[in-house]
A and B are shown apart, each in its own frame.
Chain A
Amino acid sequence: MIRLLLLPACLLLACVQLSCTRLDPVISETLRLRHQGADMPIWVRGNFESRKLLLFLHGGPGECSICLREYFAGIEAEMAVAYWDQRISGSASGTAGPETIRYTQYAEDLELVIRLLQRQYPGVQIYLFGHSFGVELAWQFLTTGQQQDLVRGAILLNGTYATYDWLKAVEAWMLREADRQGDTEALNYVRSHPVRRETMRQTDWGAWYSRMFRLGANPVWPTDDPGFRFRRWFRSPGSPTSQWANTSRYDRYYAEEIFTFDRSEQLGQIRIPIGLFWGLRDGIMPAALAQETLRRLPGPVDYVEFPDSWHSAFHTETEAFTRAVLAFAERY
């Protein structure tokens, strides 16, 4: 009987030990923001001696932040990183519904997250790092009122400032790639469904994305790695099953809200330092958008290209990405 009792006890102790040894040496704190029905986790990890903190605005919408933590190890060695799961994303829980998936609500949440981090860590210098949808969130926030004064700078990787301009850039990229690759079906589809401002709400996302990926818009994902998938399921503070639930709530966003996003006129208000990072091989957010963004920004911009990356340079060129982030934080 003792031996039988020992088995579950040993399994329990082994898991306690595993979780304890994952704690970080400098800072490891878990916070949560409750707002408008959403309970949003914020994991703060890394070296806090510099009092500098990178606030990660993940993509999607609906994706996760802490699940990508392993690509930020080099940054965590030098500064702190806050991994925030946005409402109805990643491991965020609560009772918030799809009607709260609005750009203005995300920006309101972000302001509260920043105020929470400032309250928790007085004197902290916060840098935003937006990726993909996180860039849209960052532009929404930074071009609203005086909110840009709350952060020291923003690093933005492969994301857009307006849905229409993004669709036009992807359309041009698909036409070019379909022609170059001899994909007649994709070429005919894009030609027969031209992107126009007045009809873009009729976009068939399934047809659009399937051809985009077939043409090589982003052929590499972290989830291609079985080790990444294992860690995400069994060793992460995040939860894939939470994410499944959350990502099923975005129908209204893709039918309505996404088409309301346009901050092109407001980019001229930006005064804080911007790091515009771009994976040049990306077809989801083609590099032409980088030039359009640069053209609209009046202030100091550090433009960094990642020639061997598609949509997520932190994954495909981790070392170069880390150096660029740390250089930006050092300079500003």
Chain B
Amino acid sequence: MKSNSPLVSLQHPAALRPGLLLVFAGLFALLPPGAAAQTMRLSYFGETLTRYGLRTGLEHTLAAAESRSPAGRLRTHACIFATTLTLFRHPHNHLGLILAPEIGWRYTGGRGLILQAALTQGLFRSFYEGKTYEPGPGGALRRVPLAGQWGYLPGCSAGFGQDLSRTGPSPLKWTVHAHYMAQMPYSTTFQHRFAIEFGIIHPLNP
């Protein structure tokens, strides 16, 4: 069945259009060769707030610019590349798995206030809860193992938080992100998805 989606026509990731794969590859290519992640994210990920899940991610600072406030406090603008892996559950519907490279901007103010925004390219896979059946060649119903749906999940996010290292001894940052994602294909169109992410960022080499 042909999809009307402008970006993808897939039931399986092998059907992803080459251009889309280049976008993914391009994001990874931004990393310096051999670069190690500098921070790690661990968050509650609530798709539509209550469809609970966990998100982990590794972050690299690709570029940063520093300045001083009139009071002499350090301000930072950073371009962050992150790779995140998310698992969430929509109870009695499906489990969702998202692998999403992300590129974004993060501002850290003198007193530790964080403002940030990011764009993501996600690869999505759902696993339906319960048992899925389909008619076989003879018409008899047969079980479909690990039934679910593949999808492309581009999105954007915006958030805020605080860098605790700016005001105290803790090396942690806490952040809250609001996410918008578009899952496609979905019935030959796309599905809006919203999520909230709340978690911490921990330096790997403090």
Binding site for B on A (CB under 8 A): 1, 4-5, 7-9, 11-12, 15-16, 18-19, 22, 28-35, 37-39, 41, 43, 88, 91-98, 112, 115-116, 119, 233-235, 237-239, 241-242, 244-246, 248-249
Contact = CB atoms under 8 A, between A and B. Distances in A.
A16 B90 contact: no
B189 interface: yes
B91 interface: yes
Contacts of A234: 48-50
Interface of A is mostly: mixed
B138 interface: no
A41 B131 CA distance: 10
A201 B2 CA distance: 28
B186 A242 contact: yes
A175 to B, nearest CB: 38
Given A5-B42, A7-B198, A119-B141, 8 more contacts: A11-B52, A34-B144, A34-B147, A96-B188, A115-B141, A235-B50, A239-B93, A244-B192
B199 A29 contact: no
20 contacts: A5-B200, A12-B52, A15-B50, A15-B52, A28-B92, A30-B93, A30-B130, A34-B132, A35-B135, A39-B128, A41-B130, A43-B92, A93-B149, A94-B187, A119-B133, A241-B48, A245-B187, A245-B189, A248-B189, A249-B189
Nearest to B5: A95
Interface string B30-49: 00000000000011101011
Given A234-B49, A244-B192, A31 B133 contact: yes
Contacts of A88: 187
Give me the 10 closest cross-chain CB pairs, A-B, nearest first: A30-B130, A15-B52, A8-B44, A237-B92, A19-B91, A34-B134, A32-B132, A97-B188, A245-B191, A11-B44
Given A245-B186, A248-B189, A33 B133 contact: yes
B106 interface: no
Among the interface residues A33, A37, A39, which one has the most CB atoms of the partner chain B within 10 A?
A39
B185 interface: yes
Interface residues of B, number: 51
Nearest to B129: A30
Nearest to B91: A19
B1 interface: yes
Interface in B111-164: 126, 128-135, 141, 144, 147, 149
Contacts of A246: 187
Most chain A Cβ neighbours within 10 Å, of B49, B132, B188? B188
Contacts of B170: 1
B167 interface: no
B197 to A, nearest CB: 9
B48 A95 contact: no
A16 B186 CA distance: 27
Contacts of A32: 128, 130-133, 147
A37 B130 CA distance: 19
A235 B133 CA distance: 26
B105 interface: no
B68 interface: no
B3 interface: yes
Interface string B84-121: 00000111110000000000000000000000000000
Contacts of A28: 92
B199 A8 contact: yes
A28 B188 CA distance: 31
* Residue picked from B11, B141, B199, B202, most chain A C-beta under 10 Å: B141
A11 B49 CA distance: 10
B174 interface: yes
Interface in B52-97: 52-54, 89-93
A244 B183 CA distance: 13
Contacts of A235: 50
A162 B192 CA distance: 35
A249 B191 contact: no
B16 interface: no
B193 A241 contact: yes
B172 interface: yes
Nearest to B4: A97
Contacts of A7: 44, 198
Contact of A33 (B46, B134, B199): B134
B152 to A, nearest CB: 13
A35 B133 CA distance: 9
Contacts of A43: 92
B55 to A, nearest CB: 9
B24 interface: no
Nearest to B151: A93
